[in-house]
Chain A
Amino acid sequence: MIKKPEILAPAGSLEKLKWAIDYGADAVYIGGENYSLRANAKNFTLDDIKQGVCYAHKKNKKVYVTVNIVFHDEDTKDLAAYLSQLQKIGVDAIIFSDPLVIDIAKKYSPKLSLHLSTQACVLNKDACQYYIDKGVERIVLARECSKEDIKDIIENKNVEIECFIHGAMCSNLSGRCVLSNYFTNRDANRGGCCQVCRFNFDLYDKNNNKISDESNFCIAPKDLSLVNYIKQMMDIGVCSFKLEGRMRSIYYVATIVNVYRHLIDMYSKNITDNAYINKAIKILYRCANRDVAPQFFDKTPGEKQQYYGQRKEESNQDFLGVVVGYDDSKKELLIQQRNFFKNGDKVMIFSPNTDDYFTTIKYVKDKDNNIIDAARHPNEIVRIPSDKKMPINSIMCVNFLD
């Protein structure tokens, strides 16, 4: 058996935290109402954090809280009290980038484990050593590290190494980008990033002659996916595999966690199931609806790892519903609708601990057992026939695998 790395999933809300854990995450990272780089997300109150930690710990899972802004003086006033609260709640670690957090945590909340955020942009083993000497237990390496860099750092430094394996990427070095500050006055390093690297531009030469056509100059990178390198990442000893996406939907979180859970479990048993790997690649690609690349892991990204103004980010309507019950007498699944579906649609239903179930919807009934032509209304409960009883909170989505 190969040692299993941790799957660390994003959780933008208490609901997403539960989905991530139920679908196989070993740990989740969340943001509090302050000090997190997603300042405009619906972040966790202290009470939410307490509930999340309670839920996770009952299932022997971990919760890390991001405290990863670059602080200004005005932000530091209540930090000590906040960290003390996190320690009291029993969070498993905080993820920070500003070194002042080390000093405050040591003084006021010494039991908190310290994980260094990728925002600190650590690329080398001597920079790791600086933070190891300060008591940091885990370092999230910069996404610009190659496989050789990661391997050398792990071999030479006695610290846990966490790496991003999936999700959106910054175009620029983390922490070294304030495009948002200048374009919109929103502070990138305090959670206000407006993602200028997703904008389209016109490109001019220095004499102001326009070079680009139809604003097709863009610096956006394709998303990161190391789905083809999971085994290598496990072999070199990366201890935590991080998934990006605190702002993403429960469908996205559950799907990618589920896929990577299967892959890691498979590799840890020294099995290579190519059919599942191919299926996983299809699911991951479809889930985000964006192109992916291994980015810096295997080489410096070039022309093909970047977008040029035609970036597509279509709304994904694959998520059809959630299983909320099963009527044994009628052999019907009760589905809470999330997107339109109808009689004749081919669907896939998956859950953490069962085989995926594929079926074609033969009819749709409303909750009062009346046949309807389609499930049209968000959150309405409908019935579909199913010989198989799927667990509550299974996800029904479009079967795009056929």
Chain B
Amino acid sequence: MKKMILKINKDEDFLYPCDGYILGIDNFCICFSKTFLVDDVIKIKKKYDDKKIFVSLNRVIFNSELSTYKSILKKLDKIGLDGIIVGDVSSLTYDLKTPIILDQMHLNNSSLSIKHYHDNGVCGIVLSNDITLQEINKIKDNNKDVIMFKQVFGMPHLSTSVRKLVSNYFEHFNKKTDGKVFKIKENNSTISYTIFEDYFGSHILSNNPINLIDKLNLLNVDYFIFDGFLLEDYKWVLKAFINNDINLKNKIDDAFNSNEGFIDRKTIYKVKNND
């Protein structure tokens, strides 16, 4: 039975219907509007004991952060969580008992790569948004014991930089802003992308959320991830996803300017013949 889990971006999200939550851990996750301390996670785990609870530390870790990172992982390991989502392979050397879910954003796009990590202690994978439905299902066919997670709604991540790309711009031109979230657009293009900064650096997201509501029956994964990060008024969309109400696909697309990303579209990489 596929389950729908919600990334918690605001307190109100706990009131929304779903099978479980992903909680971003303070200072060790990116692309969460709300983050949690270990003590918060303990309380939430007790309060919502009918829900699957996952935590996310979905970024790479600097050498200087290792001791804090390891200490937090060890504390989280004692809570009885359904999984710890990590972005850095250092965590695979810590002998954690909680199921480890690897989320390297744009890596692990093949059956053999995922098999490698499964053979080395990883229980689950957050699949990238850069592969097709056909590829996803083949990966699951080849890795039946690996728990697969796939984002089905939300703004896809495009890039992360340690640099403060927007602040640097404002400093350079001596401009001022109170804003936290911005958009970039190529000259004469109608397509914009979201750029924002946080404690870690700068991140670019697609301005067009992914909407895979009509692919829910086709996706052979274990968990669907619903992500309202930087979006508003999405409760009705979550309900539509839970009810598998594909009749609302167009309404959702109209409301959020969403699309299906790469689910039916392969990327290319050789653009010219060098012979």
Binding site for B on A (CB under 8 A): 39-43, 69-73, 75-76, 97-100, 102-104, 121, 123-127, 129-131, 133-134, 142, 144-145, 148-149, 152-153, 171-173, 175-179, 181-183, 185-192, 199-206, 208, 211-213, 215-217, 219, 221, 296, 300-303, 305-306, 308
Contact = CB atoms under 8 A, between A and B. Distances in A.
Interface string B184-212: 11110000110100000010101000000
Contacts of B62: 123-124, 144, 149
Contacts of B167: 303
A203 B131 CA distance: 29
Interface of B: 60-66, 70, 88-94, 104-113, 115-117, 119-120, 130-131, 135, 138-139, 142, 156, 158-169, 171-173, 175, 177, 179, 181-187, 192-193, 195, 202, 204, 206, 262, 265, 267-272, 274
Contact of A187 (B117, B166, B269): B269
Give me the 8 closest cross-chain CB pairs, A-B, nearest first: A192-B269, A126-B90, A187-B267, A100-B112, A177-B159, A149-B63, A201-B184, A190-B269
B89 A127 contact: yes
A186 B165 contact: no
Contacts of B161: 171-173, 219
B63 A124 contact: yes
A100 B116 contact: yes
Contact of A179 (B94, B158, B162): B158
Contact of B90 (A97, A127, A204, A305): A127
A333 to B, nearest CB: 34
A133 B116 CA distance: 13
Contact of B60 (A121, A181, A221, A303): A121
Contacts of A149: 62-64
Contact of A221 (B61, B163, B177, B183): B163
Contacts of A103: 112, 115-116, 119
A173 B64 contact: no
Nearest to B128: A178
Nearest to A43: B274
A179 B184 contact: no
B178 to A, nearest CB: 9
A271 to B, nearest CB: 32
A208 B62 CA distance: 35
